[in-house]
Amino acid sequence: MTLKGAGKTETAEQPQQEIPRFGPSVKARMQNLRKILENSFIADLEHHAEIRSTNDRAIECGALADVNLPFLIIADRQTAGRGRGSNRWWTGPGSLAFSLLVGPETVGAAAASTCGPRRSGLVGLAVGVAVVDALAPLVPGHEIGIHWPNDVILDRRKLAGVLIEVLPDGKHVIGIGVNTNNTAADAPEEVRRRVVTLRDMTGREHDSTEILLAILRELQRQLGELVRSPERVTERTHELCLQRGKRLEIVQGERRIEGRCLGIAADGALLLEVEGNPQSVYSGVVTQP
């Protein structure tokens, strides 16, 4: 277990908003990290007060010979958090950002050679379901679900994002960002209206360690399901898909596909009705026409 940058973030002269909210002190943080290690399926972890991106760090760790998998990297603050495509991810103070490095067998890929984009697409769906199942009990009475491929949406705004990356040897990096105790009021102008946080929605602070543990528990369940019967994961994603019945436009490079969303197919594809015919979409960026 490694704790990085704790001294830096504990100094008295730090301005108020810079104090990380993951734990109030080094001792409390150590206790939280130990609790995560003892109560989840991860084998080891690393905590950073500040880092560029937990996914970047997970990719680095993936190249090390002696890393214990599943390996968790948590950060209080990311200075260059990454989203899908060329998007950036806003990690406001109090938000939860972490990456999990797992072996191919954990995501149901027998060997590196079976780790194609279709498999990582399925992993992304399983992760989306896990995050929804972990967070739904915290927001009773609100609409929570998934926008394909794996955005977690609460009352029409983005609560959490998932970035899956596959290493050449088949290890997967599962990066998750959850808007927990941050506030949309601190977000950059261009994202403010599109995001929602648990704190803004419920009017109270949430225990980041408990949220992380709940997500890890659901992740273990959904990744296990993916190994045993992937169609149960895609069925659940179909149920949770909030785009069903809506008109969507998918951009794939130069190509645009427009149609009515029919949901998620058994093989994980987004199903669109295009000119009366069902069409499967496996990749692309969704834009609302």
21: contact with ligand BTN by CB under 6 A: no
Residues 117-156 that bind ligand BTN (CB under 6 A): 151
Decide whether 162 or 226 has the Cβ nearer to ligand BTN. Answer: 162
159: contact with ligand BTN by CB under 6 A: no
**H or E element at residue 32:** helix 26-38
177: contact with ligand BTN by CB under 6 A: yes
Question: Hey, CA dihedral for 84, 156, 249, 118, is it positive or negative?
Answer: positive
> Residue 163's CB: how many other CB atoms inside 10 A?
23
Per-residue contact string for residues 82-111; x = within reach of ligand BTN by CB under 6 A = xxx--x-x-------xxx------------
Q: Are 262 and 234 in contact (CB under 8 A)?
A: no
Query: At CA 67, angle to CA 65 and CA 72, rounded to 5?
Result: 150
Residues 23-62 that bind ligand BTN (CB under 6 A): 53-55
Q: How far from 133 is each of 10, 19, 126, CA to CA, in Å?
A: 34, 30, 11
CB of 83 to ligand BTN, least distance (A): 3
The identity of residue 68, as a single letter, is N
Decide whether 48 or 119 has the Cβ nearer to ligand BTN. Answer: 48
Among 72, 109, 154, 163, binds ligand BTN (CB under 6 A): 163
Decide whether 151 or 262 has the Cβ nearer to ligand BTN. Answer: 151
Q: How far from 147 is each of 112, 118, 122, 268, 288, CA to CA, in Å?
A: 28, 18, 14, 13, 11
Could you list the residues that contact ligand BTN (CB under 6 A)? Answer: 53-55, 78, 81-84, 87, 89, 97-99, 151, 161-163, 175-177
